[in-house]
Chains A and B, each alone.
Chain A
Amino acid sequence: MPLITVNDGEAAFVCEPGDTLLRAGLRSGVGLPYECGVGACGCCRGEVGTGEVIDHWPAAPGLSDRDRRKGRILACQCSPVGDVQLRLRLDPAAVPAIPPRRRTATLVAVNDVTHDIREFVFRSEEAAAFLPGQFAFLSLPGVERERAYSMANLANDRGEWRFYIRRVPGGDATGRLFDTLKPGAEVGLDAPYGQAYLRAESPRDIVCIAGGSGLAPMLSVTRGYAARTARDGRRLDFFYGARTPADVCGQAELAMLPGYGEDLGFQVAVSDAEAAQAAGWTGRTSLVHELVEATLGDRLGQCEFYLAGPPGMIEALLQLLQTKHRIPPERIHFDRFF
């Protein structure tokens, strides 16, 4: 098996056939920096010194033209052909708390959440080990590339993995999940991944902001917070941004958690004013970042933020939190899938 050496011996690991440099390194507990693992965030850039790699996606958006001119590669998109010497800045903070592993999982249940989001429940033989807010790569029968989906539940010994997945019109993977896959079907599940996990030790109030199927990791973070053993004076505010009233979700799950309505708040904004009116929506009509700012007011600067949702929502939130209110990026947790 190919041996990968990083920075002339700072770290070394073997790469199983079919694995990428990034995933093989993480499996061995090496601190390769990354956020998305799918070629978008650009955090796992490096250079190949000696050796040869196959680049699965040379046009990945995580590389700029300048990066390509400098001969850089993305560790998440490259597999080694033989031994490789890699130059890449390692990050102690990226050493995985739980090294990811590949396993087989069986679909055991499918539940409707909204008109286009479903909960898919899988079961694996060994325990489901992950941090609240992390994601998995699923390889589905008949679908060429793996897809990244976030878990909505918490780690458990039953081997249960719960995903909330939104149907992508014309999408290969969600078409397979929604239309073809039946309970009993087996998939490949490679997990856990992701840096936007709950920082349980932080003493700050928590704000979770979700849009679309970003509900899943934010539910997981909130469940992680709610599972703490003692009320500690902290609170968590959960905001959900929906396009139309039919897209609103999350309340049923949150209402089952201890402290709901007390130190666990839930608020929704619907962004499509026409659809809101047509449906007789009496709640808030605005973009979710406007709701966050109006609700938190002066508290905003003191909180720890977790975000998951479509790119436009994340960008608007970053403008609000980082540019306008100068909240340092270390207190804003999200994985950049774009």
Chain B
Amino acid sequence: MKMLCNTGDVPAGESRRIELPGRPPLAVFNLDGSFYVTDDTCTHGDASLCDGEIDTDDGVVECPYHQGAFEIATGRPAGAPCTVALRVYPVEIRGEAVYAAVEEVETACP
């Protein structure tokens, strides 16, 4: 597990991009107090999902580029043109810190 940020760094309904050396950037999402960690780069093109719009009701993030969408919790594509799933990582909150299992074998969702 790697510490990514503090819970207070990501207000509810928002996201934060985390850059770690030697790997693609990550996105930390806060959906009403639940934290999720995914890859930050859209699987359709070179755009940062942290610049996109979060739809809290649907639990979806929309890419700012072509408005393709992903389910934040599962990484499943939720709107054209995205069809390749986003990688999601197991998250643990320890005290006020957000940890994610980014070094573990990454599994793609169906």
Contacts and interface: CB of A to CB of B under 8 A. Distances in A.
Nearest to A64: B79
13 contacts: A41-B80, A42-B68, A62-B80, A63-B80, A66-B60, A66-B79, A67-B67, A67-B79, A319-B84, A322-B84, A326-B24, A329-B44, A336-B81
Nearest to A323: B108
Nearest to B57: A66
Contact of B79 (A40, A42, A323, A326): A42
A58 interface: no
Interface residues of B, number: 24
Interface in B6-45: 24, 41-45
Interface secondary structure of A, over-half rule: loop
Contact of A66 (B42, B45, B58, B81): B58
Given A328-B46, A329-B43, A45 B83 contact: no
B69 interface: yes
Nearest to A322: B84
Contacts of B73: none
Given A66-B58, A329-B43, A315 B83 contact: yes
A64 B80 contact: yes
Interface secondary structure of B, over-half rule: loop
A45 B84 CA distance: 19
Interface string A177-215: 000000000000000000000000000000000000000
Nearest to B41: A328
Contact of A323 (B44, B66, B78, B84): B84
A37 B102 CA distance: 38
A33 interface: yes
Nearest to B58: A66
B92 interface: no
B43 A66 contact: no
Interface residues of A, number: 26
A45 B78 CA distance: 15
B78 A330 contact: no
Given A64-B80, A72-B67, A329-B44, 8 more contacts: A33-B66, A41-B81, A42-B79, A43-B80, A66-B69, A66-B79, A319-B84, A336-B81
Contacts of B44: 329
A67 B44 CA distance: 18
Interface in A53-98: 61-64, 66-67, 72, 89, 91
B84 A43 contact: no
Interface in B33-77: 41-46, 55, 58, 60, 64-69
B21 to A, nearest CB: 16
B5 interface: no
A48 to B, nearest CB: 15
B101 interface: no
A110 B43 CA distance: 40
Contacts of B64: 89
Nearest to B108: A323
Nearest to B46: A330
Nearest to B81: A41
Contacts of A336: 80-81, 83
